Amino acid sequence: MGNNDYAYPSAAAMNVECVQRVAIPPPQPFFKSLKCSMKETFFPDDPLRQFKNQPASKRLVLGLQYFFPIFEWAPRYTIKFMKSDLIAGITIASLAIPQGISYAKLANLPPILGLYSSFIPPLIYAMMGSSRDLAVGTVAVGSLLMASMLGREVNPTENPKLFLHLAFTATFFAGVLQASLGLFRLGFIVDFLSHAAIVGFMGGAATVVCLQQLKSILGLEHFTHEADVVSVMRSVFTQTHQWRWESAVLGCCFIFFLLITRYFSKRQPRFFWVSAMAPLTSVILGSLLVYFTHAEKHGVQVIGELKKGLNPPSITDLVFVSPYMTTAIKTGLITGIIALAEGIAVGRSFAMFKNYHIDGNKEMIAIGTMNIVGSFTSCYLATGPFSRSAVNFNAGCKTAASNIVMAIAVMLTLLFLTPLFHYTPLVVLAAIIVSAMLGVIDYEAVIHLWKIDKFDFLVCISAYMGVVFGSVEIGLVIAVAISVLRVLLFVARPRTFVLGNIPNSGVYRNLEQYPNANHIPGILILEIDAPIYFANASYLRERITRWIDEEEDRIKATGKTSLQYVIMDMTAVGNIDTSGISMLEEVKKNVDRRGLQLVLVNPGSEVMKKLNKSKFLDEIGQKWVYLTVEEAVGACNFMLHSYKPNHAHTKDESEGWNNV
Amino acid sequence: MGNNDYAYPSAAAMNVECVQRVAIPPPQPFFKSLKCSMKETFFPDDPLRQFKNQPASKRLVLGLQYFFPIFEWAPRYTIKFMKSDLIAGITIASLAIPQGISYAKLANLPPILGLYSSFIPPLIYAMMGSSRDLAVGTVAVGSLLMASMLGREVNPTENPKLFLHLAFTATFFAGVLQASLGLFRLGFIVDFLSHAAIVGFMGGAATVVCLQQLKSILGLEHFTHEADVVSVMRSVFTQTHQWRWESAVLGCCFIFFLLITRYFSKRQPRFFWVSAMAPLTSVILGSLLVYFTHAEKHGVQVIGELKKGLNPPSITDLVFVSPYMTTAIKTGLITGIIALAEGIAVGRSFAMFKNYHIDGNKEMIAIGTMNIVGSFTSCYLATGPFSRSAVNFNAGCKTAASNIVMAIAVMLTLLFLTPLFHYTPLVVLAAIIVSAMLGVIDYEAVIHLWKIDKFDFLVCISAYMGVVFGSVEIGLVIAVAISVLRVLLFVARPRTFVLGNIPNSGVYRNLEQYPNANHIPGILILEIDAPIYFANASYLRERITRWIDEEEDRIKATGKTSLQYVIMDMTAVGNIDTSGISMLEEVKKNVDRRGLQLVLVNPGSEVMKKLNKSKFLDEIGQKWVYLTVEEAVGACNFMLHSYKPNHAHTKDESEGWNNV
């Protein structure tokens, strides 16, 4: 539609001013535009939309339902739902009990804390959470992180009480951070952990966690407190004489069993419960084995006594005045962010499957409240782990009620069944952790990243290496730093293209992507692919000059029509700041001195507003701003063929300077 | 050209596959694309371009000229140039001598260092610098920064020798940093100091410097070592009884004289030499006054003895093993960056006037070398101050030879004239500094920032406040942090628009900017104005969902054709990462479930490549990717009016989920 011949009449028509011009948006009062941009920044999902035009009573109900989604789904709850949730809840409880104990051991905390943390937090989440599939509980990475960060200050074997209290305090601060991120609508901070960073980070953490299990599997008494691969390997191979083969054999058998069941369930999704029940089965088998063979006397370490009874209150245990306060806060902040990232990502992915919406900020408030309350009731950091939520989903859960079922099952265990875990060998717990962690190392995702985006791959691998060879925090910092660097680099080094005309159309596209597009003689069309900011203003000035130089060289070599017009397509320039405007002014001067004419195409509303305010529009002349490249080229061609541009004298004038 | 009616045939034509498709760029080997992007990042100006296709001898000459531009301009030097440079050189020397002494006092260094620093560095710069207008010398902000940062560790009155040595060491590190930024092509780091940040920062520093002069002007003996406004004001007003009126009167007279001459020269640019000579005149007048009235005995402090002779070597004075090393390094890095930013910006702006090119990285090497050599020869931090360069420019300098003339004039002063400065009152130096600094506070630029870009204004004011109420470093950090935050926020919260058809054309533009553009019934056209990255992927998912919701609400309210197509114009999406692709997949699923069809328009080469590799193109179907919005709308309209889309059944299927 429309070729160059077609474009001429419109260019001619333009001279009689009947074509649509690039609009300058009407000026807006400062506070209105401030309010508008604040809203876009902090309330992009417009959470108050449903409250509009409602009576006060309805608003109250909606508000209650907003903060406690249980009031929304409970009235519609049916027997059919209940049946599904019951099955799902019992299934995840059977997974939660052994995993909870294992992860508490990983965090160097009393094993019973794992059960406590699977009782209160799920109840809170069931009331406040908006995900229907999230199964709440402790996570391996959070546990490891807590053990390593707190362990650097306080030795958990020498001073278990202080360590425990610091863990509660850290959980409290994690909850406060999570809830306030949600309340202050700062959820987007979590977005700065890119998917690639999380894959690498999780993989690294899983590797580190697996390596830590060598302690239990090999039955070692002494072990390094460091988490990096070098320290762990040194610790393992300097005490080869201490390895216990009984423990190792048992461990390998259980890992094999767990992996086999997982593989089976993956192939046959109907039998999801096989892999879900496997950990509990392992625990029972392991405990029976130890009980009957008295293996605890032959070097197989067991859990020992677990206290009966529900969560004791721990609100008085929180430490707010202590030399270790800052450690607790730091641990809380880092574990809180990591836990949040996992919880939100898991909730969101299952919501996608079932096509319902999750409000990230609301979820943060729910997860945060659950950790604050948890820290008052002897729980440590909980979130929505992927493995457990996947089992919940596969088991057919319908609402968050499955969490309530799980909590009740855990409660019954706490009240009556804890003595049964006395003989559970630690090596079984290690096997459960290893098999869970092997599922977290997502090498397929890494291959996918390599194929599609090398930079994402770099982020992922750096995060992995940082975690494995440094520490979890180092990995985290590296991943975030590289991700942010990428964003800055994108803005600092935006792509610029030369556009050409696509044959038989009025469309102008990047010559690199469309090799069949044609140069327009005498006209250089440039496209800038990013906002023009201080960070890229000098780069763009250099680059545009270089494009013009190269075009002039090319023309010299081919001996075609000399360059007369430089058209800048501003379609993709989303915004401009004062440095950017100065840059345009400099480019304009530079282009003028070469005796060329600068033409702008389609500046956006924000850019147009600023160009107008800064008088650049008057400088360049409104008539040199066109709505489309086609119109601009038409106008330039029209003038090229009818008369020489009237600014040719500028060239001679500038010659003098060049000779200096 | 082309309206909707016109668009139909093309849509029909498209079905017979004769229209240009969106091209997938040919795959490039990994290392080639890596090399290419490295080149764009570090060598955007292609500095080796002139070396291509040249014989070895020519390359040697070009290389020499590249690092020592003096070899380029010296052979072409004429008598006419020499005359101009001589006048300019003498003019700037008359400014440099009093300013040098003043700034050295400001830095708490021996006044003679100001003269030393105006002798060696200009000679080095004359050989290596590529600016023809930069006049080299010390700067007020750099001097103040050095005094305050080093002064925090070492008291300059109690331990002047150590302080001096640390100043040389800091200068050395500043030079090393500057030269290595240039050598490693990292000049773009300086770009992260935006123009707005520099205006605020310089204004704040000038305010602080002016306040510091109250010490000399009021003739106070004791004064705070802090630089912030609160400490200074407290220091001034707690010793009102110590104020010396003789000193104050003298100071005010000289400030008035200097401001008057500057005002006059500004109005009459022909008489630029009036303001250029004013400081030297003030010094002579002040010295004569003190000499004849013996005012030094009545509370007017004087410079005292200045050692005759050229720069003594100071290479052995550099401190590399000392508890103060880190302070010296930190001071060097910060002052180095600030000095660099000023030097480069000044060089660039004068180069713009005269239309020649300045290579930022080359300039950095020149300024860095000049400071390294300076630190070996008893000089402290030098760069290209704006005031002196402006005088140089107005005096009609033609090449860097004016710096050589200035250096010779300073050399003669050092050899023969230093005793003349014995009676120069400090209050005159203070007056010179105040009048220079009042010119640096660029309130007009601040008003300009407020008018054009509120965010830049915020950056500027924060930098100012940080410097005035905190310290120079705090101001710097605040300014850079806010600037970077802005870039991140731009990427995290990109703008999205709904497009409409501009009447009587095939052009689709943002409805906000073009209120007369028309909605197309049944089609929602969205434009995304930024690369799709991890940082904005979840925001965009929310925002796109909200656009669709709002459009459906609008349609419900008006009762028009129901929504069938969502067109996403990807023109402005410069890049996409794996998080972005997942986001698109989720949007696609979401749109599918609502029974709508997603259509992409004009993805760029990078985006197209990644969409292809990640199989998203196959998922959406190549036929739903169009080159222009016009074509896409044409095709959608064609199908809307000929038959119902064949994916309507998806809607019913998804209903089940929604009821859960």
Q: Which chain A residues are closer than 8 Å to B456 by Cβ?
A: 577-579
Q: Which chain B residues are closer than 8 Å to A653 by Cβ?
A: none
Q: What is the DSSP-derived secondary structure letter of residue A643?
A: S
Instruction: Give the C-alpha separation, A403 to A123, whole Å.
Output: 7
**CB nearest B188 (choices: A492, A510, A657):** A492
**CB nearest B534 (choices: A132, A195, A504):** A195
Of A194, A145, A191, A187, which Cα lies nearest the Cα of A170?
A: A145
Confidence at residue B441, expressed as pLDDT on a 0 to 100 scale: 86
Token digits for A493? 């080094």
Confidence at residue A358, expressed as pLDDT on a 0 to 100 scale: 81
Q: What is the mean pLDDT of residues B537-543?
A: 88
Confidence at residue A8, expressed as pLDDT on a 0 to 100 scale: 40
Token digits for B55? 């014989």
Kindly write down the DSSP assignment for every residue of A30-52, as one continuous string: HHHHHHHHHHHHH-TT-TTGGGT
Please list the ranges in chain A whose pLDDT falls under 70: 1-20, 299, 643-660
Please count the CA atoms within 13 angstroms of the CA of A131 that sit on its side-chain side. Answer: 34
Cβ contacts of B63 within 8 Å, gap of 6 or more? B51
**Nearest chain B CA: its distance from A513 CA (Å):** 5
Q: What is the mean pLDDT of residues B271-296?
A: 86
Q: What is the mean pLDDT of residues B201-205?
A: 88
- Total residue count of chain B as it appears in this document: 660
**CB nearest B46 (choices: A546, A574, A579):** A546
Q: What is the DSSP-derived secondary structure letter of residue B565?
A: E
- Measured over the CA atoms of residue B414, residue B417, residue B422 and residue B427, the dihedral's sign is negative
Instruction: Give the C-alpha separation, A534 to A378, whole Å.
Output: 51
Alpha-carbon dihedral angle through residues A639, A640, A641, A647, given to the nearest 10 degrees: 70
Token digits for B279? 């400081």
**Nearest chain B CA: its distance from A242 CA (Å):** 46
**Contacts by B34-42 with C-beta closer than 8 Å and gap 24+?**
B34/A454, B40/A493, B41/A489, B41/A493, B42/B184, B42/B185, B42/B186
Confidence at residue B6, expressed as pLDDT on a 0 to 100 scale: 38
Q: What is the mean pLDDT of residues B582-591?
A: 90
Of B534, B616, B614, B640, which Cα lies nearest the Cα of B568?
A: B616
Test mutation, B14, B491, B552, B576, chain A, max A CBs within 10 A: B491
Summarised one tens digit per residue, pLDDT across range B499-516 is 999 888 888 998 888 888
Q: Are B427 and B247 in contact, with CB atoms under 8 Å apart?
A: yes
% of chain B exceeding 90 in pLDDT: 31
Confidence at residue B643, expressed as pLDDT on a 0 to 100 scale: 57
Cβ contacts of A556 within 8 Å, gap of 6 or more? none
- Mean confidence (pLDDT) of chain B: 85
Confidence at residue A5, expressed as pLDDT on a 0 to 100 scale: 39
CB contact under 8 A, A490 and B533: yes
Q: Which chain B residues are closer than 8 Å to A194 by Cβ?
A: 533-535, 577, 579
The sheet with strand B496-501 has its strands ordered as B508-510, B496-501, B523-528, B565-569, B597-601, B625-626
Q: Which chain B residues are closer than 8 Å to A449 by Cβ?
A: 578
- Measured over the CA atoms of residue A216, residue A219, residue A222 and residue A223, the dihedral's sign is negative
Confidence at residue B660, expressed as pLDDT on a 0 to 100 scale: 35
Summarised one tens digit per residue, pLDDT across range B187-199 is 777 777 788 888 8
Number of Cβ within a 10 Å radius of residue B510: 22
Confidence at residue A643, expressed as pLDDT on a 0 to 100 scale: 57
Alpha-carbon dihedral angle through residues A293, A297, A302, A305, given to the nearest 10 degrees: 100
Confidence at residue B52, expressed as pLDDT on a 0 to 100 scale: 76
Residue spans of beta strands (DSSP E) within A429-547: 496-501, 508-510, 523-528
Cβ contacts of B632 within 8 Å, gap of 6 or more? B567, B599, B601, B626
SS3 state at A574: coil
Token digits for B491? 């990427």
Q: What is the mean pLDDT of residues B304-319?
A: 88
Of A395, A454, A432, A425, which Cα lies nearest the Cα of A85?
A: A395
**CB nearest B627 (choices: A507, A531, A572):** A507
